[in-house]
Amino acid sequence: MSEWWRSAVIYQIYPRSFADSDGDGIGDLAGILDRLDHIAELGVDGIWLSPFFTSPMADYGYDVADYCDVDPMFGTLADFRALLAAAHARGLKVVIDQVYSHTSKEHPWFVESRRDRGNARADWYVWADAKADGTAPNNWLAAFGGVAWTWDTGRNQYYFHNFLPEQPDLDVRHPAVQDALLEVARFWLDLGVDGFRLDVANYFMQDAHLRDNPPRATHDGTKPLNFQQHVYNKSQPENLAFIERLRAVTGAYPDRMTVAEIKCDRNVERMAEYTAHDRRLSCAYSFHLLGRDFSARFVRETVEAFYAQPGSPWPAWAFSNHDVPRAPSRWGDGSAAFAIQLNALLLSLPGTLFLYQGEELGLPQATLPREALRDPEAINNWPNHRNRDGARTPMPWQETAPHAGFSSGSPWLPVVAPHLKLAVDRQAGHAGSVLAATKALLAWRGAYGALRQGGWSFLDLPEPLLGLVRGGEVACVFNLGDEPAALDMPGELAPPSHARLEGSALHLPRHGFAWVRQAGRSKAS
């Protein structure tokens, strides 16, 4: 059986913001199909589609009302089949989101569950009685703000939601719930999808006794959620048995993959736990490299810590996605040179890699006024939280077209002026553009097996230099500092590099990087 995903670069598409085919201002499946050649020409191996399922859109698709149908704003199941076939014809795998932690409160399962305490799905969600004083069953807090419990007058009980009240949490401990979710997986596998990205995979179960979370000794003070250690509302060990059931289902289909999204206080350890051994998930990514910390030491320690975990786990790495501010702005100055360096660094790491739409253009985080926000997390936490909407603005296709060619109608989020000069049509054919550099990096990585499948070891370089050797053949070196740097690095410089090699002296400018073939051990100078 193929394990194509181990060396894959997968391009994440946020459907609402990628391409709109019908002028309603919301991206759709037909729009993705229209722009599929752009993705194929990048040289990636597949696409990951964020949710396009039937939903009232309280959390923009992560509140699913029908797991097995397409929301009309995105198209139809026939549109999805057409997109799937077109992607496969171009050699692209298709991975789709699966949201098993929670549903929409409009999902028929929850509508029945909340009706009374005696129906067939009464125990399919996490329900609990009030305390004697009428307050919530425990101190758990919701990720988007407020208490994680909402009172339901139909059952005279509280229901639990890790996110919005519109997103009640399923009780995945219940065997019937597990069976129903596995049938959802089979539905999409039978349609021919190549894998699943599992939304908040470590949130599927909560403590059976609903114990209070303990306080956190230190926190940033910006969100009440951060005042707690999240010991009991997620990451329960019993969840691994369900993960193994899911892997058994996907494993019955050839060449399928699963990638877990992990978010917890022990990101790296949990990533490894969910991918250890052949009976769990294919790979996992976490928010460890999606946060604000960034340095040569941090990147090295993160990778080394993951591979030190038992059970031969496999990682996935991403620097940006729809849930965090874009990396060029989150970590640096938002410049094209920094964006190219970040893409080169990502493509140098061992593991499965995810490239978010717009990273190939070097898009910085969009700055939006309060009145333009749509993200409930950003609205609830304004102004302290750097909002997700700034990473979800429409893809700029044409610099001078209305709404940058994303839509003929007014888009659901505005196109910001700094993105216009980074539009696809402006960068296409320009050798110095982020787009051209990203294509060159992907082509070189695809042609050189050491970067796709080779082993790895880090070079002992001083901060702010980061270096690792892939497959014993290619040294990948990065200057993450603000000043030029030089080091001894014999070998042959690969064309995508932003550096100069004079004899064995490698000169790295600010935001510089180099891929050096047949490099030996190096020493900083």
User: Which residues participate in catalysis according to the annotation?
Assistant: 199, 261
**Phi, psi for residue 313 in degrees, rounded to 5:** -70, 165
**Phi, psi for residue 474 in degrees, rounded to 5:** -125, 120
188 by DSSP, 3-state: which? helix
C-alpha distances (whole Å) from 425 to each of 117, 396, 436 are: 58, 9, 12
Rounded Cα distance between 525 and 516, Å, is 17
Task: Give residue 81's identity as a one-letter amino acid code.
Answer: R
What's the DSSP call for residue 25?
S
Task: Give residue 198's identity as a one-letter amino acid code.
Answer: L
Rounded Cα distance between 319 and 311, Å, is 25
Task: Give residue 32's identity as a one-letter amino acid code.
Answer: I
In the block, tokens 């065997």 appear at 175
464: cis peptide before it, omega within 30°? Answer: yes
Rounded Cα distance between 27 and 83, Å, is 14
Q: For the chain, percent helix, then strand, then coil, each to nearest 5?
A: 30, 20, 50
Six-digit token pair at 58? 């309280």
User: 143-179 burial string, b = 16+ CB within 10 Å, else e?
Assistant: bbbebbbbebeebebbbbbbbbbbbbbbbbbeeebbe
Classify the C-alpha dihedral 249-114-73-321 as positive or negative: negative
| Beta-carbon contacts of residue 333 (< 8 Å; ≥ 6 apart) | none
User: 290-309 burial string, b = 16+ CB within 10 Å, else e?
Assistant: beeebebebbbebbeebeeb
What's the DSSP call for residue 102?
B
Rounded Cα distance between 315 and 371, Å, is 38
99 by DSSP, 3-state: which? coil
What's the DSSP call for residue 394?
P
